[in-house]
Copies of this chain bind each other. A is one copy, B any other.
Amino acid sequence: MITETQYARFDALKLDAGETLRDVQVAYETYGRLSEHRTNAILIDHAFTGDAHAAGIDHEGKPGWWDNMIGPGKAFDTDHYFVICSNVLGGCRGTLGPSSIDPATGKPYGLRFPGVTISDMVRLQKLLVDHLGIERLLAVTGGSMGGFQALEWAVAYPDAVEACIPIATTARHSAQQIAFNETGRQAIMADPDFLGGDFYDKKPPARGLSVARMIGHITYMSDESMREKFGRRLRDRQDFSYGFEIDFEVESYLRYRGSQFVGRFDANSYLYITKAMDYFDLAAGYPSLAASLERATSRFLVISFTSDWLYPSYQSQEIVNALRSRNHDVTYCELSSNYGHDAFLVDIGEQTEIVKGFLAKCTREFRGLEARQ
Contacts and interface: CB of A to CB of B under 8 A. Distances in A.
Given A215-B183, A255-B186, A232 B175 contact: yes
A248 B111 contact: no
Given A111-B244, A240-B279, A243-B115, A227 B186 contact: no
Interface residues of A, number: 58
Task: Tell me what chain A mostly uses at the interface: helix, strand, loop, or mixed.
Answer: helix
Total copies of the chain: 2
B254 A182 contact: yes
A229 interface: yes
A185 interface: yes
A7 B250 CA distance: 39
Contacts of A241: 115
A183 B226 contact: no
A274 to B, nearest CB: 10
A337 B290 CA distance: 30
B185 A244 contact: yes
A252 B69 CA distance: 40
A294 interface: no
B275 A175 contact: no
Contacts of A179: 214, 217-218, 226, 250-251, 254
Nearest to A206: B190
A265 interface: no
Given A214-B183, A254-B183, A223 B271 contact: no
A157 B283 CA distance: 58
A221 B183 CA distance: 15
Contact of A312 (B173, B180, B185, B223): B223
Interface of A: 16-17, 111, 114-115, 172-176, 178-180, 182-183, 185-187, 189-192, 207-208, 210-211, 214-215, 217-218, 221, 223, 226-227, 229-232, 240-244, 247-251, 254-255, 258, 271, 275, 278-279, 281, 309, 312
20 contacts: A17-B242, A115-B242, A175-B226, A175-B231, A175-B232, A176-B223, A178-B251, A179-B226, A179-B250, A182-B214, A182-B255, A186-B211, A189-B244, A190-B207, A223-B312, A232-B281, A240-B279, A244-B271, A244-B275, A247-B278
Which 9 pairs show the lowest CB-CB distances between chains A and B?
A115-B242, A190-B207, A175-B226, A17-B242, A175-B230, A175-B250, A183-B214, A182-B251, A176-B223
